[in-house]
Amino acid sequence: MAKYFDVHPENPQPRTIASVADSIRAGALVAYPTDSCYALGCQLGSKDGINRIRTIRNLDDRHHFTLVCHDFAQLGQFVQLDNRVFRTIKAATPGSYTFILPATKEVPRQLLHPKKKTVGVRIPDHVVAQALLAQLGEPLVSSTLLLPDQEEPMTQGWEIKERLDHVVDAVIDSGDCGTVPTTVVDFSGGEAEIVRRGAGDTERFE
């Protein structure tokens, strides 16, 4: 059974957040809220966690996983940015955007797109997600919690606990959560290509 963590949306309890972070370090797969839907998350080097996300979501090896980062300095460790792209992305973060970029050697091979050697990155604008990332001290390998038989992502903590009780290890419920997936912008070719229009305003990338 998954552990259920009830977290205050504006003042996350430090002991609770620390407990979740310890679970992730121990290999747990968690469902956590962001500014754009719930996400499934695991530790950066967890092959088991990545495989479990693939299984739950029925994903193939071309799926772009996302490294959800605490801040821009952390994001810059994992992707290659020229000055122009750097400025564009920095102006849009934190926010409901996922950016696809060439990965650095810090990114485990299992997370890379097999042909492009790219990875998704984002910085959420969500108090609880930020608290967890700060406590963890590294990005969370993540994917939107969208099940194969559903058209809309899951957004209610209690519902996720009920539905995924035996396939995730923990669910964080802070009540507030975005209901629309991120806008995905691919910069891997040098120019901005909008792959998915979602919660983030696309005008700056048109």
What are the pLDDT digits (tens) for 106-134?
Answer: 999 888 888 889 999 999 999 999 999 99
Residue 112: what pLDDT? 87
pLDDT at residue 173 tops 90: yes
CB 192 within 8 A of CB 205: yes
CATH class of 3-205: alpha beta
Cα→Cα distances 191→56, 81, 99, 113, 116, Å: 33, 12, 12, 18, 15
Q: In this predicted model, what pLDDT tens digit does every residue of 52-72 receive, in sequence order?
A: 999 999 998 788 899 999 999
Quickly tell me which residue has 């259920």 as its tokens: 4
Q: In this predicted model, what pLDDT tens digit does every residue of 31-47 receive, in sequence order?
A: 999 999 999 999 998 99
Residue 110: what pLDDT? 87
Q: In this predicted model, what pLDDT tens digit does every residue of 6-35 receive, in sequence order?
A: 999 999 999 999 999 999 999 999 999 999
